């Protein structure tokens, strides 16, 4: 039986302004390519890409023993705006930003 997890991102689009010196002021780049988790670090037991969205899922058969995170490791980001859409089914979630 499928049981939705505490954290599901559907249609997650992470955008950053000026993520590197090569980008001009006002130009946006996406940190998610819609196909893979390239640049991201997280346990593949819980984090996947499904229908163009970053998806985090736990089930009764595949539970977590605590918090699990998906962390951007693809480069340094400065002066950014975070834009995304999300959906949570049966649980709780959050977004953490650390500098």
CA gap 78, 67 in Å, rounded: 26
The length of the chain, given as a count of residues: 99
- Please, which pLDDT band fits residue 24 given cuts at 50, 70 and 90? low
Q: What is the mean pLDDT of residues 1-8?
A: 41
- Please, which pLDDT band fits residue 74 given cuts at 50, 70 and 90? very high
Burial class from Cβ neighbours inside 10 Å (0-12, 13-18, 19+) for residue 86 reads middle
| pLDDT at position 46 over 90 | yes
Paired strand residues for 30: 15
CA gap 11, 8 in Å, rounded: 10
Mean pLDDT of the chain: 76
Residue whose C-alpha is closest to residue 30's, from 70, 75, 61: 75
- Please, which pLDDT band fits residue 50 given cuts at 50, 70 and 90? very high
CA gap 97, 54 in Å, rounded: 17
């Amino acid at each position: 039986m499928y049981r939705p997890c505490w954290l599901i991102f559907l249609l997650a689009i992470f955008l950053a302004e000026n993520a590197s010196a090569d980008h001009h002021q006002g130009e946006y780049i996406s940190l998610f390519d819609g196909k893979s988790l390239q640049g991201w670090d997280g346990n593949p037991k819980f984090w996947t890409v499904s229908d163009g969205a970053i998806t985090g899922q736990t089930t009764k058969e595949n539970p977590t023993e605590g918090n699990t995170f998906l962390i951007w490791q693809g480069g340094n980001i400065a002066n950014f705006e975070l834009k995304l859409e999300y959906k949570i089914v049966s649980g709780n979630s959050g977004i953490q930003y650390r500098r």
